[in-house]
Structure 1
Amino acid sequence: MSPRASWKGTLKIGELTCAVGLYTAASTSDRIAFHMINRATGHRLRREFVDSDTRKAVERDDQVKGYEVSDGEHILLSDDEIASAVPDSDKVLGVTAFIPCDGIEDVYVDKPYYLTPADTPSVEAFGLIRDGLRKQEVAAIAQTVLFRRMRTVLIRAHDAGMIATTLNFDYEVRSATDAFDGIRKVRIDPEMLDLAQHIIKTKMGKFDPASFEDRYEAAVAELVKAKDAGKTLPKRPKEKAKIISLMDALRESAKPQRKTKTQSKTTRKAG
C-alpha cells in the first residue's frame, strides 16, 4: 500500500507553482516499544490526567489548554481559539530565498520529509524546480503552516524528488557559547596532532546507514526471545577502562585494525 501524504499544498516560486505532497521520511514506529503492566494482574496500565488538588481523574471533555501567566493563574484557551489565532494556512509553500546547500548549521535542522508532485499536471513544473536547484547547487527556503504551526522549510533536490526539512526557529536553538564556555584552552602537542590526522586519513570512508546496527534494539529483541522461551541470557561482563596516556592511545589507534563483521558484510555487499 502506498504511503499517504502528511500534507498537501502548492510549492510557489514567484509565479511558478506546482501541487506537492509531503511524506514522512524518518519514523520511529519500527522501534521496540514497551507497555506499562500491572505486575500483580498482568493488565496494561493507562495514563490519566489527574486534578492536582482533588487527585481525581479528569474526563477528556473537561480538559482544556491553559497558559500560565502567574503562579497558579492560567488563561484558558480552546482548540478553536488557538486554531483561529494561527496564521492562515493557505497551503502554499512559498519560497523566499535560495542558499548554498551547506548553508544551514546542523542545530537548525529538525525533521525531514520527502517532497513529491501531488498530481500529473504538476510533474513538469516540479521537475523544473528540482533540476534548477540541482544545477545551481542551492536549496530553497520556504515558509508555510504545517500541522497548525508556522514552519520554515529547507528544500533540496534528492534523486527523482526533493527533500523538505523543517527548521528550528532561532529562539529554539540554544547558545553554543553557553555550552562551550567551560572548555579550557589547551596546547595540543604537534606530534599528537599529526597522529590524530593520520588516524582520520586512514579511516576515511562514505556514510552508509545500512552498515550501522542498532545494538539496543538487537539486544532487547534477543532478551524478549529468550524470556519467551523460558531462558535467561548470561550477563555480559563489564569492560574495565584502561588508563593509558593520550599519546599511547593515539599510537594504538593508528595501528592497522582488523575488519569487523559489519565492515566485512559491507565490503561483500559492495562487491
Structure 2
Amino acid sequence: MAVRPYWKGYLKLSLVTCPVQMMPATSESEKVRFHTLNRQTQNRVVSHYVDSVTGKEVKEDDEVKGYQRGEDDYIMLEDDELENVALDSTKTIDISTFTPRDSIEWIWLDTPYYLSPNDPVGQEAFSVIRDAMEAQKMVGISRLVISRRERAIMLEPRDKGIVLWTLRYGDEVRDENSYFEGVGDEKADSDMMPLVQQLIKKQTKNWSPKMVVDPVHDHLLDLIETKKKALKKPSRSKSKEPSSKPGPSNVINIMDALKKSVAAETRSSK
C-alpha cells in the first residue's frame, strides 16, 4: 500500500526548481495502541479542556494559544497570526547553503523524511541537484514549515532520492562536556584490551533490522491474544509461586568476566 505524501511543494536551487513530495521515513502505525475506557461501562473516555479556575468546559472556538510572561499573565496569539509567521517556507524548499556531510554530527539530526520528484517533468532537475551534492559529499541546508513550525532542515542525497532531516535548534542540544567531565582520564588496561577486542570480533555481525526488534511490543501482542482466547474459553491457569532464586551478584572481576566471555564465545563458534 502506497504511503500518502505528507507534504508537497517545490525544491529550489537558484533558478532550478522542481516539484517534490515528502513522506515520513519512519512509522509507528504498527505499534500497539490503547484507548482509555470506563471500567464500569467499557465505553471510551473522552477528554475535554476545562477552565482551571471556573471548572467549566471550554468550547473549541474559545481555545487560544497563550505565551506566559508572568504569573497569570499571558499574551494571546491567534491561529492566523501563528500561520503567518513563516509563510515563505511552507511550499518551497529553497537551498540557501551547502556544507560537508561529515561536519554535521548525529545529535543535530531529528526526524527523517523521504523526498522524491512529484512530476516526471521535474525528475531531471531533481537528479541534477541530488547528484551534484553526492559528487561533492555535500548536504543542503534550508528551512521548511512542518506542523505550523518552521524547522531548519538538511537535504542528504541517498540512492535515487534525497533524505530530508529536520535539525534540532542550538538551544535543544546540550553540551556533552558538562556530562562527560566527571569521567576519569584513566587509560585502558593493556592486558584487558586484547580480550575486549577479541570479544568484539567474535560478536560482530552485519547490520540487520532484526537487531532492533521491540520485545515489549511482541509481549503485548501475546498478552492481547491470550486475553482474546480467555474471552472465548475460561482460563484455568494457576498462579506461579514467586521464584526464590537469588539474583546475580554485582561484584565481579572484570578480567575474569572477559576471559569467561571469550571462552564461551570460542566454544559456541566451534
Cα contact 2:10–2:92 (8 A) shared by 1: yes
* 1:65-85 CA-partner distances (Å, limit 9, x unpaired): 111000111111111121223
Q: Equivalents in 1 of 2:199, 2:75: separation in Å?
A: 58
Tell me the equivalent position of 1:137. 137
The yes-or-no answer on 1:49 pairing with 2:49 is yes
Q: Of residues 236, 257, 261 in structure 2, which corresponds to 1:253?
A: 261
CA offsets 1:24-73 (integer angstroms, 9 cap, x no match):
11121210011111112211112221211222222212211111000111
* Residue in 2 that maps onto 1:152: 152
- How far apart, CA to CA, are the structure 2 residues paired with 1:182 and 1:79? 46
Residues 117-136 of structure 1: matches in 2 within 5 Å?
A: 117-136=117-136
Letter in 1 for 2:143: Q
Q: How far, CA to CA, are the matches of 1:128 and 1:86 in structure 2?
A: 28
- Quote the offset at 1:182 in angstroms: 3.6
Task: Decide which moves more: 173-182 or 152-161.
Answer: 173-182
| Distance in 2 separating the partners of 1:50 and 1:177 | 43
Post-superposition Cα deviations, 1:70-119, rounded to whole Å, max 9, x if no partner, equal: 01111111111212233533522122233333322111111111100011
- In structure 2, relative to structure 1, the CA distance for the partners of 1:202 and 1:121 (3 Å cut) is same
Instruction: Tell me the distance in 2 between the aligned counterparts of 1:56 and 1:137.
Output: 58
Determine the C-alpha separation between the residues in 2 that align with 1:22 and 1:50. Answer: 37
Partners of 1:226 and 1:233 within 8 A in 2: no
Structure 2 letter corresponding to 1:241: P
| Cα distance in 2 for residues equivalent to 1:44 and 1:22 | 34
AA in 1 matched with 2:20: V
Q: 1:177 to 1:222 in 2, by over 3 A?
A: same
Matched positions, count:
259
CA distance in 2, matches of 1:40, 1:183: 54
2:89 touches 2:143 (CA, 8 Å); kept in 1? no
CA contact (8 A) 1:11 1:19 kept: yes
| Whole-angstrom distance in 2 between the partners of 1:239 and 1:114 | 50
Task: Decide which moves more: 1-10 or 165-174.
Answer: 1-10
Alignment of 1:223-262 (within 5 A): 223-230=223-230, 231=235, 240-243=247-250, 244-255=252-263, 256=265, 258=268
- Partner in structure 1 of residue 171 of structure 2: 171
One-letter amino acid of the structure 2 residue matched with residue 245 of structure 1: N
Mapped to 2, the partners of 1:188 and 1:233 lie a distance apart of 51
Query: Which residue of structure 2 aligns with residue 269 of structure 1?
Result: none
Distance 1:125 1:234, change over 3 A: farther
CA contact (8 A) 1:131 1:157 kept: yes
What SS class does the counterpart of residue 88 from structure 1 fall into?
Answer: helix
Q: CA RMSD in A?
A: 2.5
* Alpha-carbon distance in structure 1 between the residues aligned to 2:89 and 2:99: 25
Shift of 1:136: 2.5
Query: Contact 2:82/2:148 (CA < 8 Å) preserved in 1?
Result: no
- 1:1-271 → structure 2 map (5 Å cutoff): 1-89=1-89, 91-230=91-230, 231=235, 240-243=247-250, 244-255=252-263, 256=265, 258=268
Deviations 1:153-181 (A, max 9, x none): 11122222111111111111122223334
Unaligned 5+ residue runs, structure 1? 260-271
Q: Give CA-to-partner distance per residue, 1:109-150, whole Å, 9 cap, x none.
A: 111111000111101111122222233233222223333222
Corresponding letter in the other structure for 1:52: S
Same amino acid, percent of matched pairs: 35
- How far did residue 187 of structure 1 move? 4.4
CA distance in 2, matches of 1:234, 1:141: 59
Give the TM-score normalised by structure 1: 0.85
Question: Which TM-score applies when normalising by structure 2?
Answer: 0.85
Cα distance change of structure 1 residues 33 and 76 upon mapping to structure 2, 3 Å threshold: same
Give 3-state SS (helix, strand or coil) of 1:228's partner: helix
